[in-house]
Amino acid sequence: MPHMYGLIFDVDGVIANTEPLNARVTIRVLKDMFGLVGVTDRDFEAGIGRGAEAYVKAGARAHGVELTDGQAQVAAQVRERYLIEALHQEPLPAFPGVLKLIQAGLDDPNFRLAIATSASRELSQAILESAGVPYQRMAYVSGSEVKKKKPDPGLFLTAAKRMSLPPGRCVVFEDAPSGVEAAGAAGSRCIAVTNSVPARELFGADVVCDSLERIDLAALRSLVDGD
C-alpha cells in the first residue's frame, strides 16, 4: 500500500494576505466600541493565529485596556461582520504558489488535504471563496467546531482525523508562532511561511520559507518520510 500524506492549511496569512484587512477592520472596531485611537497593525501581533477574541484583546492591551471576555466576544462578532462585508467588496487573491500546491495535492491520490483555521466557518469560507480555493474537496475544520484555540493542537488533530490519517503523516502550513506550536504539539510536521511574522519567530517549524512557491509534493514526501 502506498504511503499517504496529509496537508493541513491554515487560512489567515497562509492562503491569503488577510492580516492588513484584519488589522484595519479591528482598528475601526476598537475605536467605535471603546474609543481607542492610535492603534496600529503591530499592536495585534500577540494575537495573530490565536482566534478573533485574542486578536481583539491584543490590540486593546497594547493601549492599556484589558477587555473582558464578554467585551472581546461582542467586539469579535462586530469585527467578523465588517470583515465579511469588506471581503465582498475587496476580494483577496491567494498568495503565490498556494493554489498550485493545493491543486497538485488534490490531483495526487496519495495526498489528502484539509483546511484548519481558528476563524469561524462563515468568515473562513468567505476568505476561501475570495481566494478561489476548492475547499469543497478538502476536509474542513473551523474555530466554530473546537473549544480551544491554538497553540492547543485540537484543531490539527481534528483535521488529521477527518482525513483518516495519523498526525505524524501530516504537514501543517502556518504563518504564526501559535500555529507552529500547535502543529508540534499535534505531532505533525510544519512548514511556516513568513507572510505575517519574521522567520526568527517561527523557529519551531521544520521548514521556514518566504513563499509556498518553493514547496512541491516531492519535498513534502521527503519531510514526512524523513528522507
Cite the beta strand spans of 52-154 per DSSP E: 111-116, 139-141
> Is the confidence at residue 227, as pLDDT, over 80?
no
Residue 1 has pLDDT above 70, yes or no: no
* Res. 2: pLDDT tops 80: no
Burial letters for 121-135: b for 16+ Cβ neighbours within 10 Å, e otherwise? Answer: eebbbbbbebbbbeb
B/e letters for 147-184, b = 16+ CB within 10 Å, e = fewer, are eebbbbbbbbbbbbebbebebebbbbbbbbbbbbbbbb
* H or E stretch covering 166: none
pLDDT at 102 over 80: yes
Query: Which residues lie closer than 8 Å to 119 by C-beta, 6 or more apart?
Result: 11, 12, 51, 52, 127, 142, 143
Per-residue pLDDT reduced to its tens digit, 56-72 = 999 999 999 999 999 99
Mean pLDDT over all residues of the chain?
95
Grid coordinates representing 124 are: 473562513
Which CATH number among 3.40.50.1000, 1.10.10.10, 3.40.50.1370, 3.40.470.10 corresponds to the domain 5-17+93-225?
3.40.50.1000
The per-residue pLDDT for 28 is: 96
pLDDT mean over 205-223 = 97
- The Cα–Cα gap between 177 and 187 comes to 16
CATH 3.40.50.1000 residue ranges in the chain? 5-17+93-225
Rg (C-alpha) for the chain, rounded Å, is 17
Cell 512541491 identifies what position?
216
- Mean pLDDT to the nearest integer, 30-51: 93
Give the per-residue pLDDT at 91.
86
Strands 5-9, 139-141: parallel, antiparallel or unpaired by DSSP? unpaired
C-alpha cell belonging to residue 114 = 484539509
- At 50, the pLDDT band (50, 70, 90 cuts) reads confident
Tens digits of residue pLDDT in 157-202: 999 999 999 999 999 999 999 999 999 999 999 999 999 999 999 9
Give the pLDDT of residue 36. 96
Q: Which amino acid is at 103?
A: Q
